[in-house]
A and B are shown apart, each in its own frame.
Chain A
Amino acid sequence: MSMQIALAKGRLEKPVVNMLAGCGYGVESLRDKGRALVFQDSRKDIRYFLAKANDVITYVEHGVADIGIVGKDTLMEGGKDYYELLDLKVGVCRFILAGLPENPPLQKVGHLRIGTKYPNVTRQYFHSRGMDPEIIRIDGSVELGPLLGLCDGIVDIMETGTTLKENGLVVFDEVCPLSARAIVNRASFKLKREEIMTVIRDLERGGEYAEGN
């Protein structure tokens, strides 16, 4: 049975394509992709398409993609109507709480304002600590928030920490670790269980190929 796999564009694209290639999938066209959006596997009956991380969830929830590869950060913020079968252990990074060193948000007594691209994650994190800050959605360069005095702290993804450091921000807490996950449409899993599990098992042992050669 033919299968459709949605891959999140960007950060995760390269390691995941490397993993697929290492496991014997015909993903050459994904490496040299030009402006195409849909790619046929040259060896198996699989079609790949690249999508924005958020859209990967939408495609999988609707079943137009059987499998989606997307970061845990996106999953935590979005819908939940899918199976989450595998941690690919690539694209590893963290959600952190950061701010200016002289203003630790967790110690603040008065009204607390937190800027983030991830309001749901932020709300959950603070609620689990019995705190109820005002959350302000910022779409890009979240670091600006505390620097300009818009908010007391930010919840964001941190890979290396360079951007924070260069802007004089420090990490106050780690919210949770993040990495790429494989999600599966519920109906597809019932109708194509064996085919899907083959891909999942391949990805599970494909970690060594993530770096490429």
Chain B
Amino acid sequence: MTEFRLPQGMRDLIPQDCERKQKFRGAIEGIFDAHGYQPVETPAVEYYETYRSAFGTVKDREMYKFLDQDGEILTLRVDMTVPIARLCATKYAQAQPPFRFRYCADVFKVRELFAGKRAQVTDCGIELIGGDSRSDIEVLSIALEVMDHLGLSGWQLEIGNTGFFRRACEQLQISEADASVLADLIDRKSLVDLKSRLDGFGLSAEGRRLLEELPMLGGSDALARAEQLSFSDGLRREVDTLRQLDLSLRQRGYGSRISCDFGKVPHLNYYTGIIFEGYASGAGVAVLSGGRYDSLLQRFGRDLPACGFSVKLDYLMDAEGGETE
């Protein structure tokens, strides 16, 4: 090979880039520290089997895979949540929860060729494992504090509750396979395809109305409209969960920065309750994402509820503003 090239999706950072990235990192980690989150590190390489246990269905093609000395399949980690769940369930099998961990590490995904997407991204985040019912609000307010502290020129945090969709499917007796097809269409707000798919389901009028409106069940009147569409106490309770969070975040002064979207239902085999993403002007993808994943830890042998989020430092680099002190 006479040329020296970068592998697909990889980037070098020159000092100016590093300086900006490290400023962000420092600001974020300072906040995590102040809230009592302790750093952990895990290896960049995990067994493929670890991810398969965690997800049930893994996105095979997104994982860098290779073999170890014994012919076992290894993979570059695709996130930090799964390794930390493994770490927590195995290293702290007996210890008393809650656990507050923070991390800053590179995660890897194989991306399509020539799409201009990053294959390696630095995730800087926290996991709150085994906490009580106040965990959601703790994690969300730290996420908001982080976004607020970065000096971005425009940003929003959007909160959803996957429990709403999950419960609706349960009560409408929609099979898991169908639910995951619907979840994908709803999450992509693919309104036309969703309607034609629902045609074949023979749902009650109220069930159909709810699922059909779900993708656009966001914005300022989301909570009120979700309440109207709810056809059971279970669904109303899910709306209420989000309303309580919305209310207490408003009381903390984040009213203009948060919004609700019930149509946010990605990766249903992973997220079990609230889910949220942060967006910043100038960045074409979410710069922060997180949520609740109560069934993940039990797959590693210790049944604990958990929630967390991470900031994608490399995506944050594209955002406007961010000249923190």
Which positions in A face B, CB cutoff 8 Å? 58, 61-64, 79-80, 82-87, 181, 184-191, 193
Knowing A58-B116, A63-B285 are in contact, say whether A190-B191 is a contact too (CB < 8 A): no
**Contact yes or no, A85 B189, CB < 8 A:** yes
17 A-B pairs whose Cβ atoms sit less than 8 Å apart in the complex: A61-B284, A62-B116, A62-B284, A84-B189, A84-B191, A84-B192, A84-B193, A85-B191, A87-B192, A181-B192, A184-B189, A185-B284, A186-B286, A187-B283, A187-B285, A191-B156, A193-B218
Contact with A along B254-287 (1 / 0, CB 8 A): 0000010000000000000000010111011110
The distance in angstroms between the C-alpha atoms of A187 and B193, with both chains bound, is 21
Minimum C-beta distance from A211 to chain B (A):
22
Residues of chain A lying within 8 A (CB to CB) of residue B191: 84-87
Question: Taking CB as reference atom, which chain B residue is nearest A187?
Answer: B279
The distance in angstroms between the C-alpha atoms of A109 and B285, with both chains bound, is 47
Minimum C-beta distance from A194 to chain B (A):
8
Residues of chain B lying within 8 A (CB to CB) of residue A80: 188
Minimum C-beta distance from A140 to chain B (A):
21
The distance in angstroms between the C-alpha atoms of A186 and B112, with both chains bound, is 19
B interface residues, tally (CB under 8 Å): 25
The distance in angstroms between the C-alpha atoms of A191 and B319, with both chains bound, is 13
Residues 184 to 203 of chain B near chain A (Cβ within 8 Å): 188-193
Q: Main SS of chain A's interface residues?
A: mixed
**Contact yes or no, A84 B190, CB < 8 A:** yes
**Contact yes or no, A58 B285, CB < 8 A:** no
Instruction: Indicate if B154 sits at the interface (CB-CB under 8 A).
Output: yes
Q: Which one, A62, A83, A185, A191, contacts B188 given CB within 8 A? A: A83
Instruction: Indicate if B30 sits at the interface (CB-CB under 8 A).
Output: no
Knowing A84-B192, A84-B193, A85-B189 are in contact, say whether A191-B115 is a contact too (CB < 8 A): no
Knowing A58-B115, A62-B284 are in contact, say whether A191-B279 is a contact too (CB < 8 A): yes
- Among B154, B155, B190, B218, the one with the most A-chain Cβ atoms within 10 Å of its Cβ is B190
Instruction: Indicate if B39 sits at the interface (CB-CB under 8 A).
Output: no
**Contact yes or no, A190 B116, CB < 8 A:** no
Residues 169 to 213 of chain B near chain A (Cβ within 8 Å): 188-193
**Contact yes or no, A82 B188, CB < 8 A:** yes
The distance in angstroms between the C-alpha atoms of A62 and B114, with both chains bound, is 13
The distance in angstroms between the C-alpha atoms of A61 and B118, with both chains bound, is 13
Instruction: Indicate if B219 sits at the interface (CB-CB under 8 A).
Output: yes
Instruction: Indicate if B136 sits at the interface (CB-CB under 8 A).
Output: no
Q: Which one, B155, B281, B285, contacts A186 given CB within 8 A? A: B285
Residues of chain A lying within 8 A (CB to CB) of residue B238: none
A-B contacts counted at CB < 8 A amount to 57
Question: Taking CB as reference atom, which chain B residue is nearest A179?
Answer: B192
**Contact yes or no, A190 B193, CB < 8 A:** no
**Contact yes or no, A191 B284, CB < 8 A:** no
Knowing A87-B192, A193-B219 are in contact, say whether A79-B112 is a contact too (CB < 8 A): yes
Instruction: Indicate if B158 sits at the interface (CB-CB under 8 A).
Output: yes
**Contact yes or no, A191 B154, CB < 8 A:** yes
The distance in angstroms between the C-alpha atoms of A185 and B286, with both chains bound, is 11
- Identify 18 new A-B residue pairs, CB closer than 8 A, beyond the known A62-B116, A84-B190, A186-B279: A61-B115, A61-B284, A63-B285, A64-B284, A84-B188, A84-B192, A85-B189, A87-B192, A187-B283, A187-B286, A189-B189, A190-B277, A190-B279, A191-B155, A191-B156, A191-B281, A193-B219, A193-B259
The distance in angstroms between the C-alpha atoms of A62 and B284, with both chains bound, is 5
Residues of chain B lying within 8 A (CB to CB) of residue A83: 188-190, 215
Minimum C-beta distance from A75 to chain B (A):
9
Question: Taking CB as reference atom, which chain B residue is nearest A63?
Answer: B284
- Among A85, A187, A193, the one with the most B-chain Cβ atoms within 10 Å of its Cβ is A187
Residues of chain B lying within 8 A (CB to CB) of residue A64: 284
Residues of chain B lying within 8 A (CB to CB) of residue A186: 279, 285-286
The distance in angstroms between the C-alpha atoms of A184 and B284, with both chains bound, is 11
Residues of chain B lying within 8 A (CB to CB) of residue A184: 189
Question: Taking CB as reference atom, which chain A residue is nearest B195?
Answer: A87
Question: Taking CB as reference atom, which chain B residue is nearest A86?
Answer: B191
**Contact yes or no, B189 A190, CB < 8 A:** no
Residues of chain A lying within 8 A (CB to CB) of residue B277: 190
Residues of chain B lying within 8 A (CB to CB) of residue A58: 115-116
The distance in angstroms between the C-alpha atoms of A79 and B113, with both chains bound, is 12
The distance in angstroms between the C-alpha atoms of A61 and B189, with both chains bound, is 14
The distance in angstroms between the C-alpha atoms of A184 and B279, with both chains bound, is 15
The distance in angstroms between the C-alpha atoms of A187 and B283, with both chains bound, is 7
Minimum C-beta distance from B184 to chain A (A):
8
- The 7 nearest A-B residue pairs measured at CB: A63-B284, A83-B189, A84-B190, A190-B279, A187-B279, A87-B192, A62-B284
Q: Which one, B112, B156, B190, contacts A190 given CB within 8 A? A: B156
Question: Taking CB as reference atom, which chain B residue is nearest A193?
Answer: B219
Minimum C-beta distance from A49 to chain B (A):
16
Residues of chain A lying within 8 A (CB to CB) of residue B259: 190, 193
